[in-house]
Amino acid sequence: MPLGPGGQDVRRLQSTGGSTFTLSLPKPWVVQHKLSSRDVLKIDWRPSGALRITPLDVEEKLEKSVFLSMNKLPENSLFDHLMGAYISGADLIKIETKISPKRKSNLQVRRFLRNTRGFEIFEETDDSLVLKCLLNPGDMPIHASLNRMYLLLTSLVRDLLSVFEGEDKEFIQDAADRENEVDALLYLIERQVRISLDSYKVASSLNISRTQALEFANLARSLERMMDHAYTLSELVKENPNLTTNMIDMAPLEQLPKWQLALKELMINIRTRDSTRIEIARGDLKKCQQVLKVHEKDLLDNHRHNEWMAFDLSLSESVRRLCAYARDFGEILLNMLVFSKIVASN
Same domain, residue pair 38 and 155: no
Note whether 237 and 309 are same-domain residues. Answer: yes
Asked whether residue 72 falls in the same domain as residue 201, the answer is no
Report yes or no on 51 lying in a domain. Answer: yes
Q: Are residues 248 and 147 in the same domain?
A: yes
pLDDT at 186: 95
- 298: burial class by Cβ within 10 Å (0-12, 13-18, 19+)? exposed
**93 lies in the same domain as 227:** no
CA-only gyration radius of the chain, Å:
26
Domain endpoint, select from 108, 133, 158 = 133
Residue 22 counted as domain residue = yes
Tell me: do 48 and 179 sit in the same domain.
Answer: no
The length of the chain is: 346
Beta carbons of 213 and 133 less than 8 angstroms apart: no
What's the number of domains the chain is made of? 3
If asked whether residues 125 and 269 sit together in one domain, one would say: no
Claim to verify: residue 47 and residue 18 sit in the same structural domain: yes
Q: How far is CA 25 from the centre of its chain?
A: 38
Side-chain half-sphere CA neighbours of 14 within 13 A: 6
Q: What is the mean pLDDT of residues 11-34?
A: 82
> How confident is the model at residue 307, as a pLDDT?
67
In 3D, which of 184, 194, 236 has the Cα closest to residue 214?
Answer: 194
8 part of a folded domain = no
Domain annotation covers residue 31: yes
Residue 155 CA to residue 227 CA, distance in Å, equals: 10
Same domain, yes or no, for 177 and 115? Answer: no
Residue 5, domain member (yes or no): no
Q: Which residues pair with 94 in a beta bridge?
A: 67, 130
Give the CATH number, domain containing residue 107.
3.30.110.60
For 170-212, the pLDDT digits (tens) are 889 999 999 999 999 999 999 988 888 777 777 777 777 777 8
CA-CA distances (angstroms) from residue 32 to 5, 35, 63, 199? 10, 8, 18, 18
- Per-residue model confidence (pLDDT) at position 100: 56
What CATH number did the domain enclosing 293 receive? 1.20.58.220
CATH code: domain of residue 26: 2.10.260
Query: Which among 106, 133, 160 is the end of a domain?
Result: 133
Is residue 126 domain-shared with residue 82, that is, in the same domain?
yes
β-strands 65-69, 119-124: how paired? unpaired
* Same domain, residue pair 254 and 155: yes
The per-residue DSSP string of 269-334 comes to HHHH--HHHHHHHHHHHHHHHHHHHHHHHHHHHTT--SHHHHHHHHHHHHHHHHHHHHHHHHHHHH
Q: By three-state DSSP, how is residue 137 classified?
A: coil
d(CA 256, CA 249): 11
Residue 247 has pLDDT above 70, yes or no: no
- Which amino acid is residue 210, in one-letter code? R
Q: Which of the four pLDDT bands, split at 50, 70 and 90, describes residue 124?
A: confident
Q: Answer yes or no: are the C-beta atoms of 122 and 131 closer than 8 Å.
A: yes
pLDDT higher for 18 or 84? Answer: 84
Q: What is the pLDDT of residue 343?
A: 56
pLDDT digit string, tens, across residues 44-82: 776 666 777 877 765 455 678 899 888 888 888 889 999
pLDDT for the residue numbered 313: 86
- CA atoms of 233 and 243, how far apart (whole Å): 13
Cα distance between residue 90 and residue 54, in whole Å: 23
Residue 6 located in a structural domain: no
| Local confidence band at 250 (pLDDT 50, 70, 90 cut-offs) | confident
Rounded to an integer, the average pLDDT of 98-125 is 83
264: containing domain: 142-345
**Domain stops at, among 83, 105, 133:** 133
- For residue range 136-153, list pLDDT tens digits in order: 887 888 899 999 999 999
pLDDT above 90 covers what percent of the chain?
38
Question: Same domain, yes or no, for 180 and 274?
Answer: yes
81 assigned to some structural domain: yes
Residue at 106 is within a domain: yes
